[in-house]
Amino acid sequence: MIDAIWPRHAERLPDGGLRLGGCDARSLAAQYGTPLFVVDELDVRSRAAEYKAAYDHGDHPFEVFYASKAFLTVAIARWVHGAGLGIDVATGGELAVALRAGIPGEQIVMHGNNKSRAEIEAALEHGLRALVCDSLDELARIGSIAAERGLVAPVMLRLTAGVEAHTHEAIATAHEDQKFGLSIATGMAAKAVDQALGDPHIDLRGFHSHIGSQIFDADGFEIAAHRVALFMADMARTRGYVADALDLGGGMGIPYVDGDDPLDVAEMAHRLRAIVVRECSSAGIAVPRLSVEPGRAIVGSSTVTLYEVGVVKQVQVSDDFVRQYVAVDGGMSDNIRTALYNADYTAALANRVSHATAVPSRVVGKHCESGDIVVNNLQLPTDVRAGDLLAVATTGAYCWSMASNYNNLPRPAVIAVRDGASRVLIRRETAEDLLARDQDA
């Protein structure tokens, strides 16, 4: 391992090469082409196993559901399920992949703030563990679709606890103004409980709370758990409704660049458990069945994107500042996170050693847009040139899953590496794939 940012089975070779899962990145690029998502299979499997071990034990075990929106292929679903995790899906498409992977419906939870009739029907048909619902409108729809089929739909209500990750109690009401969740503060959540309890085709299993993503400490969870526990106590007192299940969502952060320092898995698990147990006990309720839904933390660090460098250019930014622009053969169509969230990444040459001076650089893509930036700010040697292989770390979460065909660029292949062997998980798209749906082609 190089450091925490790179996959667990990444090694730097003396000649400047990069070995991933025992495979030389140069050979992978030659064999499969670039851009290329290279997934370290054992990294994903081991992180999934660590989450299982850290959360699912003791008096108050947490079940772990993998938030598949982060990165989903049939193989990835099988790896995480093999480590004992369930799967969280947010659409019928994600459900189709999870089912194809052989995940039993009972171990799948369905999210989504606007599920289609077909998605609700599929969830009921396949006996999913729960549909997580966050509107009165959809709650009624789920009830009526279940009624048509003579079924009772298992539902969890997604609560808005009014917490923005990274904030403190004083300003923790800031996040009411967004589309997700049923607000505890405004009474909407209580209304949903009443509606669910009054609907014979809804089986209200409990509550869900997700406070954000890329969270490095347990503070935000603490406030959310406090408010959710008080709400559960209120529902028990005023409605006689005792929730069976509580899901605290995902959001556990990972390091992308030096200086990122999230709590480790065991420590986070320990803190979350302590928080829930304390808050439930002070609210006077029994601890419900618990679960969490990490996405990024399971897959984020497993994957490296390999690009080939094309054009390099020096841009005189100001009188005394030149930035080196290094254009690669992908861009915002395979990693939208930099443009969308100003995300930071770590990158390195993966084909040779360079002894040239490192200068302020920016890795950009090949799209017709100035915001097409892959790595905003990094140091690269002055002799970077066409044909070099550049590896961008930590691209496992929300890169391939948010990839697009902007500029009709075919999406990259996804390959898995393990113990010196590689195999294709998702083949590279071709121009023919892009034309296949064009009815005039």
Residues annotated catalytic, as ranges: 368
Residues in the chain: 441
Which residue, 316 or 342, is less far from ligand LLP as judged by CB? 342
Only segment of 49-57, 118-126, 248-256, 422-430 that touches ligand LLP (CB under 6 A): 248-256
Q: How many CB atoms lie within 10 A of CB 430?
A: 10
Regarding 70 and contact with ligand LLP (CB under 6 A), the answer is yes
117 exposure class (CB count in 10 Å sphere: 0-12, 13-18, 19+): exposed
Beta bridge partners of 351: 17
Structure tokens at 156: 């969890």
Regarding 175 and contact with ligand LLP (CB under 6 A), the answer is no
- Nearest approach, Cβ of residue 439 and ligand LLP (Å): 32
Binding pattern for the stretch 14-53 against ligand LLP, x by CB under 6 A and - elsewhere: ----------------------------------------
- Nearest approach, Cβ of residue 417 and ligand LLP (Å): 23
Contact predicate 97/118, CB 8 Å: no
Q: Using CB under 6 A, which of 175, 398, 412, 413 touches ligand LLP?
A: 398
Contact predicate 227/162, CB 8 Å: yes
Q: Using CB under 6 A, which of 213, 291, 361, 422 touches ligand LLP?
A: 213
CA distance 343 to 123: 34
- Nearest approach, Cβ of residue 292 and ligand LLP (Å): 8
Structure tokens at 394: 């930590």
Contact predicate 409/330, CB 8 Å: yes
Regarding 337 and contact with ligand LLP (CB under 6 A), the answer is yes
Regarding 154 and contact with ligand LLP (CB under 6 A), the answer is no
263 exposure class (CB count in 10 Å sphere: 0-12, 13-18, 19+): middle
Binding pattern for the stretch 250-269 against ligand LLP, x by CB under 6 A and - elsewhere: xxx-----------------
- Number of residues engaging ligand LLP in binding (CB under 6 A): 19
Q: Using CB under 6 A, which of 111, 201, 227, 367 touches ligand LLP?
A: 111
CB burial string 196-205: b at 16+ within 10 A, e below: beebebbebb
Where do runs of H (alpha helix) occur along 218-264?
A: 219-239
- Nearest approach, Cβ of residue 38 and ligand LLP (Å): 19
CB burial string 231-245: b at 16+ within 10 A, e below: bbbbbbeeeebebeb
Regarding 210 and contact with ligand LLP (CB under 6 A), the answer is yes
- Maximum CA pair distance of the chain? 73
CA-based nearest residue to 295, from 350, 254, 325: 254
Contact predicate 86/65, CB 8 Å: yes
Which residue, 28 or 132, is less far from ligand LLP as judged by CB? 132
- Nearest approach, Cβ of residue 249 and ligand LLP (Å): 4
Which residue, 18 or 109, is less far from ligand LLP as judged by CB? 109
Regarding 67 and contact with ligand LLP (CB under 6 A), the answer is yes
SS3 421: strand
Regarding 293 and contact with ligand LLP (CB under 6 A), the answer is yes
423 exposure class (CB count in 10 Å sphere: 0-12, 13-18, 19+): exposed
CA distance 118 to 287: 34
Q: Using CB under 6 A, which of 143, 206, 249, 381 touches ligand LLP?
A: 249
- Nearest approach, Cβ of residue 294 and ligand LLP (Å): 4
Asked if the bond preceding 104 is cis, omega within 30° of 0, the reply is no
Regarding 138 and contact with ligand LLP (CB under 6 A), the answer is no
- Nearest approach, Cβ of residue 225 and ligand LLP (Å): 15
Contact predicate 32/57, CB 8 Å: no
Binding pattern for the stretch 81-100 against ligand LLP, x by CB under 6 A and - elsewhere: -------x------------
Query: Considering only residues 345-374, where is the footprint of ligand LLP by CB under 6 A?
Result: none
- Nearest approach, Cβ of residue 397 and ligand LLP (Å): 6
Binding pattern for the stretch 294-333 against ligand LLP, x by CB under 6 A and - elsewhere: xxxx------------------------------------
Q: What string of DSSP letters covers 377-416?
A: EEEEETT--TT-EEEE---TTTTGGG---GGGPPPPEEEE
CA distance 75 to 206: 31
Which residue, 68 or 361, is less far from ligand LLP as judged by CB? 68
Regarding 276 and contact with ligand LLP (CB under 6 A), the answer is no
Which residue, 19 or 296, is less far from ligand LLP as judged by CB? 296
User: Which chain residues interact with ligand LLP by CB under 6 A?
Assistant: 67, 70, 88, 111, 210, 213, 249-252, 293-297, 337, 341, 397-398
